[in-house]
Structure 1
């Protein structure tokens, strides 16, 4: 059963977390160009936001199956897993409370006047940093999942 749960956990991470990370990372540079444009085109931005939002919801399966795997292996108390869970929660918070709302603000302003778009440009630039933080948090979680420092389950 642990092999099945681990397989679903890893597949969910690949299928959901990978695309949301890529879509969220592609959004800020395009947002800056769109906000600075005299004739903003928002179709691709809307698609990237929809991908980010939809795959974020699907990504909730990753920690659910991760907890099931951890419980099955009896490692829920190991510090590498606890740190991974905290970082996963932080990544989810960054995505849900900073990245997705920031994308929504850019989309709301994309069709507004030039002055409104220019006022939002610094926020679009800051979105690059927050999506980078989101991606970095996930990268650290992946490394912890592979290396499992101090684990007695063997690698």
Structure 2
């Protein structure tokens, strides 16, 4: 999706708009969190469940991970500062 979104922004000549930059940054942050945090916690929680403590931590991290994605969706709908 980030590649398609970037291609569409380039085709429509909108790469310089702030909301595109913010959305791309939030996407990178969410992707980085997924790779560095969520994946390792998921592996730990599924390999050694200790009464659900690690599963609860994983659930909390996943909820926090969803916040940047929610902000990206809102930016894509609202498009603040967009001329259209």
TM over 0.5: yes
Contact 1:94 1:130 in 2 (8 A): no
Contact 1:95 1:134 in 2 (8 A): yes
Alignment coverage as a number of residue pairs:
84
What SS does structure 1 have at the residue aligned with 2:81? Answer: coil
Q: Which is bigger in relative contact order (C-alpha 8 A, separation at least 6)?
A: 2
Backbone CA RMSD of aligned residues: 1.4
Task: Tell me what 1:100 maps to.
Answer: 39
Using the size of structure 2 for normalisation, the TM-score is: 0.89
Quick one: which of 56, 60, 64 aligns to 1:129?
Answer: 60
Partners of 2:62 and 2:26 in 1: how far apart? 14
> In the TM superposition, what whole-angstrom CA distance separates every residue of 1:49-79 from its partner, at most 9, and x where no partner exists?
xxxxxxxxxxxxx101010011011111111
**Unaligned segments of structure 1, at least 5 residues:** 1-61, 111-116
What SS does structure 1 have at the residue aligned with 2:15? Answer: coil
Quick one: which of 64, 79, 82 aligns to 1:148?
Answer: 79
Using the size of structure 1 for normalisation, the TM-score is: 0.51
Higher helix share: 1
**Unaligned segments of structure 2, at least 5 residues:** none
1:65 aligns with 2:4: yes
* Bigger Rg, structure 1 or 2: 1
Partners of 1:66 and 1:85 in 2: how far apart? 9
What SS does structure 2 have at the residue aligned with 1:134? Answer: helix
Contact 2:45 2:58 in 1 (8 A): no
Contact 2:14 2:20 in 1 (8 A): yes
